[in-house]
């Protein structure tokens, strides 16, 4: 490998170059937030053998200009591009090849490691040591080894890009070109979610106090699973399998007169408060708050293909699991910036609609076209009762259908609904008899052993040796299609955003998109976002009417 320490010569159009940036002083939890760390070097491989290395930030624009017409091969492009944006203007472009995201398109569910070193081993039979990479965390200057390491990264990205191309189908390209690449550009332009730090801390303190008090009143640590289980068994909960909430409540009803039963409520309450205060407590803001024009914001790491199905995920911190059911008080802390309004768009019954599209189930399509409530209609089919939305029977219907979408057994449904197994089996059979398309989806899944595809053709590999294989075959198609849909909607919003304010999306929660927009644009943007979501859904699922709801308010708790 030849390493040249100057700007590369101007590259011809449409060739591939490998790019890698190294930053000193980054840590794993914050490397998605390119506000800290010091530039180490930029490596550009114009061939696997020839790498140009830049050590001066002032030369970055010239170096990037030299490769402006090339296709950029980068491993985890989000990191490199976000950092390059600190020193150069990097516009969304089609000429991008993210070896990480493309590997996930190729092998989601097949492999579970996707590091550059993993790909180097798989594709090129090359071993890349990790020790030097860690040196960048503490070093402030390059040494010989680090120079070689940085050059190798760029070279490897390019070689892997070539190797990946050989194994890609037309449809794999399509997923990259029409879903993940554009979603990546959208994610890179997302804003942090503004947070009311004082309110958050007050809430955290209160939860902590309540939790600690309850914990202190117990004879045993409610988080110490092993000891707690033994303790409760000794005091009357015969054969206790675990200490999960529903298990404890059941045991309490089964053995109401025991010593153990007296503790259940306190154990649950204590765990609840302490869970809140630990996950959504002081650390949450201390580790994750940044300031965006003096506004405290949370900037998490949005992962384009976090799930094997192709769904997105989120970490550091995860904003996709902020409590909302039991209490809205956490989401109330995520507020609009001054002079702004929060918009939440939400696909109505996204997965049932996708299920209808995939299965072409006659009854399901009929319901969705009728505009009647899905679960009220299903309650009629399953229980032979006409009900209103407020009827508790509606809540007993949802799990029958949704459970089947996940491959749930009658045993599982019985547990969920708190009924006998044969009753659960009867309900499922009743449902499947009426919904023959859904029944076929489940039947077909039994024969899938390699992979299944989403509506757009994204593969999710199956593990034929796993007892989850069949359930994954059912669910991956639906969940993955939903992931594709939301990502495409996000990408479309990003691409067609032409308001006089920057792209202001702050969250993606699977079937929900959150934005924080200036008051004067709120109605236009709300409508615009809704149109994008509906348009994407209708294109992907032409047999089903699409619906995206709009909510607005001063905080993320505006959904009612």
Partner DNA sequence: GGAGACGGCGCC
Partner DNA sequence: AAAGGGCGCCGTCTCC
Give the binding site for DNA (CB under 7 A). 221, 223-227, 229, 242-245, 268, 271-272, 274-275, 278-279, 283-284, 303, 306-309, 311, 313-318, 320-326, 399, 402-403, 406-409, 411-413, 415-416, 467-468, 471-472, 475-476, 479, 509-512
The Cα 32–Cα 192 span in angstroms is 12
The nearest distance, CB 204 to DNA, in angstroms, is 11
Q: What is the DSSP code string of 500-518?
A: SS---EEEE-SSEEEEEEE
The nearest distance, CB 304 to DNA, in angstroms, is 11
The nearest distance, CB 509 to DNA, in angstroms, is 5
The nearest distance, CB 216 to DNA, in angstroms, is 13
Pick the closer one to DNA by CB: 236 or 480.
480
Pick the closer one to DNA by CB: 54 or 471.
471
The Cα 289–Cα 125 span in angstroms is 41
Pick the closer one to DNA by CB: 363 or 398.
398
- Identify whether the C-beta of residue 172 lies closer than 8 Å to the C-beta of residue 105: yes
The nearest distance, CB 49 to DNA, in angstroms, is 34
Q: What 3-state DSSP class applies to 232?
A: helix
Pick the closer one to DNA by CB: 47 or 117.
117
Pick the closer one to DNA by CB: 163 or 402.
402
The nearest distance, CB 156 to DNA, in angstroms, is 23
Structure tokens, 230: 């033994």
Pick the closer one to DNA by CB: 211 or 236.
211
Residue 34, Cβ neighbours under 10 Å: how many? Answer: 20
Pick the closer one to DNA by CB: 166 or 226.
226
Element (H, E) at 483: helix 469-496
The nearest distance, CB 79 to DNA, in angstroms, is 15
The nearest distance, CB 14 to DNA, in angstroms, is 34
Omega within 30 of 0 (cis) for the link into 317: yes
Per DSSP, 122 falls in state I
The closest alpha carbon to 191, from 317, 81, 300, belongs to 300
Residue 423, Cβ neighbours under 10 Å: how many? Answer: 13
The Cα 366–Cα 405 span in angstroms is 18
The nearest distance, CB 521 to DNA, in angstroms, is 25
Pick the closer one to DNA by CB: 340 or 471.
471
Structure tokens, 134: 């860690």
Pick the closer one to DNA by CB: 40 or 414.
414
Burial label for 125, CB within 10 Å (0-12, 13-18, 19+), is exposed
Give the CA count within 13 Å in the CB-facing half-sphere of 446. Answer: 4
Pick the closer one to DNA by CB: 365 or 460.
460
The Cα 430–Cα 435 span in angstroms is 9
The nearest distance, CB 190 to DNA, in angstroms, is 16
The nearest distance, CB 167 to DNA, in angstroms, is 22
The nearest distance, CB 245 to DNA, in angstroms, is 4
- Identify whether the C-beta of residue 273 lies closer than 8 Å to the C-beta of residue 214: yes
The nearest distance, CB 349 to DNA, in angstroms, is 10
Pick the closer one to DNA by CB: 472 or 506.
472
Pick the closer one to DNA by CB: 43 or 270.
270
Burial label for 154, CB within 10 Å (0-12, 13-18, 19+), is buried
CA angle 534, 186, 483 (to 5 degrees): 50
Burial label for 138, CB within 10 Å (0-12, 13-18, 19+), is exposed
Residues 6+ apart with CB under 8 A from 504: 191, 340, 515, 516, 517, 525
- Give the sign of the dihedral formed by CA 79, CA 85, CA 87, CA 90: positive
Element (H, E) at 201: helix 197-216
Pick the closer one to DNA by CB: 192 or 403.
403
Exposure string for 493-532, b = 16+ CB within 10 A, e = fewer: bbeebeeeeebbbbbbbbbbbbbbbbeebbeebbebbbeb
Q: What 3-state DSSP class applies to 74?
A: strand
């Amino acid at each position: 490998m030849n390493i040249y320490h100057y700007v590369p010569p101007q590259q011809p159009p449409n060739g591939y170059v490998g790019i890698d940036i190294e930053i000193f002083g980054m840590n794993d939890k914050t490397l998605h937030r390119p506000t800290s760390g010091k530039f180490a070097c930029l490596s550009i491989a114009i061939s696997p053998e020839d790498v140009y290395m830049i050590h001066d930030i002032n030369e970055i624009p010239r170096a990037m200009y030299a490769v402006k017409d090339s296709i950029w091969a980068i491993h985890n492009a989000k990191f490199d591009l976000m950092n390059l944006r600190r020193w150069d203007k990097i516009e969304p472009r089609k000429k991008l090849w993210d070896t990480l995201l493309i590997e996930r398109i190729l092998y989601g569910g097949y492999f579970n490691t996707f590091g550059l070193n993993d790909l180097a081993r798989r594709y090129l039979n090359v071993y890349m040591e990790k020790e030097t990479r860690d040196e960048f965390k503490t070093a402030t200057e390059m040494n010989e080894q680090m120079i070689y390491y940085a050059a190798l990264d760029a070279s490897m990205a390019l070689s892997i890009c070539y190797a990946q191309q050989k194994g890609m189908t037309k449809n794999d390209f399509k997923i990259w070109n029409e879903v993940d690449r554009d979603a990546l550009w959208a994610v890179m332009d997302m804003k942090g979610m503004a947070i009311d730090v004082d309110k958050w801390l007050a809430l955290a303190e209160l939860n902590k106090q309540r939790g600690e008090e309850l914990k202190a009143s117990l004879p045993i640590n409610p988080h110490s699973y092993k000891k707690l289980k033994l303790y409760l068994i000794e005091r009357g909960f015969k054969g206790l399998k675990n200490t999960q909430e529903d298990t404890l409540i059941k045991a309490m009803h089964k053995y109401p007169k025991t010593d153990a039963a007296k503790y259940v409520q306190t154990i649950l309450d204590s765990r609840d408060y302490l869970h809140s205060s630990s996950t959504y407590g002081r650390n949450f803001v201390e580790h994750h708050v940044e300031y965006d024009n003096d506004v405290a914001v949370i900037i998490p790491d949005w992962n384009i293909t976090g799930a094997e199905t192709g769904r997105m995920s989120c970490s550091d911190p995860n904003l996709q699991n902020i409590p909302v059911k039991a209490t809205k008080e956490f989401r109330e802390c995520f507020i609009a910036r001054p002079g702004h309004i929060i918009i939440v768009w939400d696909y109505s019954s996204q997965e049932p609609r996708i299920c209808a599209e995939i299965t072409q189930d006659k009854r399901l399509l009929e319901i969705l076209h009728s505009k009647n409530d899905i679960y009220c209609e299903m309650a009629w089919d399953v229980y032979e009762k006409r009900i209103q939305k407020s009827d508790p029977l509606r809540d007993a219907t949802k799990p029958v259908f949704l459970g089947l979408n996940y491959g749930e057994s009658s045993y599982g449904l019985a547990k969920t609904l708190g009924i006998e197994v044969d009753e659960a089996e009867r309900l499922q059979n009743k449902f499947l008899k009426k919904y023959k398309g859904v029944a076929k989806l489940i039947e077909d899944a039994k024969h899938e052993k390699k992979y299944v595809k989403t509506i757009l053709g994204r593969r999710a590999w199956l593990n034929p040796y796993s007892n989850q294989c069949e359930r994954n075959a059912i669910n991956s198609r639906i969940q993955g299609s939903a992931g594709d849909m939301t990502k495409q909607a996000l990408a479309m919003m990003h691409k067609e955003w032409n308001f006089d304010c920057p792209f202001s999306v702050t969250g993606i929660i699977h079937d929900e998109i959150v934005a924080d927009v200036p008051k004067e644009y709120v109605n236009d943007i709300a409508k615009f976002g809704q149109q994008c979501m509906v348009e994407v859904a209708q294109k992907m699922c032409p047999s089903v009417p699409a619906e995206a709801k709009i909510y607005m308010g001063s905080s993320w708790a505006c959904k009612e």
